């Protein structure tokens, strides 16, 4: 009995999973022709996705040694940086990656806006992208408190107080975030749960919808000048 060839294995897998169809839809798509800075601007979405993946991996590694309690959170962060193998490097990637991700997402949204890529038929893609941006901000806000040092504590206190100034619902929002009238152990627990459970689930769903819409509608073409007036196509 001869061993199956790679072609036969590929055909067997493809017949049962539709792998090639999915591959072609996701990766063998038309990419608009662009040159110079415009061409680089089209990489901002992929770069944001790469940094998000890096955040997920480094965050999972950090969670293995982090203790979400007011008594041990600060000490566990110091332990990660000083005693865990490559802990300082991993924490540095996660810390600076959070800021870099915000910059990339903002740059990506600016590219979409300036090139008119949010217009018909991609309005839904744009709206989901705005929601993704808000979730990214939520990641940064909830993660900032987790080291539980003076800087994180007071910065979060300012943030929750600003949320508390929202008309009508501000007091309720601040109380929900803090877990009570004042910041303490319930605040840290809630921020940790939001950071590692709630927001990852939300961004997973939104990313799935966003990528589906990108594949469905395709990537918009760069703006072109038509008849002496600026315009965009695609």
What's residue 227's pLDDT?
A: 53
* Domain contains 29: no
Tens-place pLDDT, residues 88-103: 999 999 999 999 999 9
Tens-place pLDDT, residues 17-38: 988 887 777 767 667 777 777 8
What's residue 119's pLDDT?
A: 92
* Domain contains 227: no
What's residue 20's pLDDT?
A: 83
Domain extent for 72: 34-219
Number of domains in the chain: 1
* Domain contains 61: yes
Cα–Cα distance measured from residue 185 to residue 181, given in angstroms and rounded to the nearest whole number: 12
* Domain contains 25: no
* Domain contains 8: no
Per-residue pLDDT of the chain (234 residues; tens, 9 = 90+): 778 888 888 889 888 998 888 777 776 766 777 777 788 898 999 999 999 999 999 999 999 999 999 999 999 999 999 999 999 999 999 999 999 999 999 999 999 999 999 999 999 999 999 999 999 999 999 999 999 999 999 999 999 999 999 999 999 999 999 998 899 999 999 999 999 999 999 999 999 999 999 988 888 888 776 654 444 444
- Give the SS3 label for residue 198: helix
* Domain contains 9: no
What's residue 230's pLDDT?
A: 43
What's residue 231's pLDDT?
A: 44
Could you tell me the CATH number of the domain that includes residue 162?
A: 1.20.810.10
DSSP state letters, 57-110: HHHHHHHTT---STTTHHHHHHHHHHTSTTHHHHHHHHHHHHHHHHHHHHHHHH
* Domain contains 56: yes
Tens-place pLDDT, residues 210-227: 999 998 888 888 877 665
What's residue 127's pLDDT?
A: 97
* Domain contains 102: yes
C-alpha to C-alpha distances, 14 to 10, 11, 212, nearest whole angstrom = 6, 5, 21
Q: Which two tokens stand for residue 74?
A: 């600060």
Place of tokens 């909830």: 142
């Amino acid at each position: 009995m001869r061993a199956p060839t790679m072609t036969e294995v590929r055909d067997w897998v493809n017949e049962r999973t539709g792998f090639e169809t999915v591959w072609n839809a996701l990766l063998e798509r038309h990419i608009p022709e662009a040159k110079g800075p415009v061409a680089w601007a089209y990489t901002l979405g992929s770069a944001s996705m790469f940094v998000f993946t890096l955040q997920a991996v480094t965050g999972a590694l950090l969670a293995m040694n982090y203790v979400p309690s007011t008594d041990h959170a600060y000490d566990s962060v110091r332990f990660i940086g000083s005693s865990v193998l490559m802990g300082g490097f991993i924490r540095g990637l996660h810390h600076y990656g959070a800021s870099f991700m915000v910059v990339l997402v903002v740059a990506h949204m600016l590219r979409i806006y300036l090139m008119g890529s949010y217009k018909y038929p991609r309005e839904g893609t744009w709206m989901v992208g705005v929601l993704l941006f808000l979730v990214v901000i939520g990641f940064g806000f909830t993660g900032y408190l987790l080291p539980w040092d003076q800087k994180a504590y007071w910065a979060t206190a300012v943030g929750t107080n600003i949320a508390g100034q929202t008309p009508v619902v501000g007091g309720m929002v601040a109380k929900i975030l803090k877990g009570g009238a004042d910041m303490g152990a319930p605040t840290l627990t809630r921020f940790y749960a939001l950071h590692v459970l709630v927001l990852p689930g939300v961004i997973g769903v939104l990313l799935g919808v966003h990528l589906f819409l990108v594949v469905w509608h395709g990537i918009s073409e760069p703006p072109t000048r038509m008849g002496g007036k600026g315009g965009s196509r695609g």
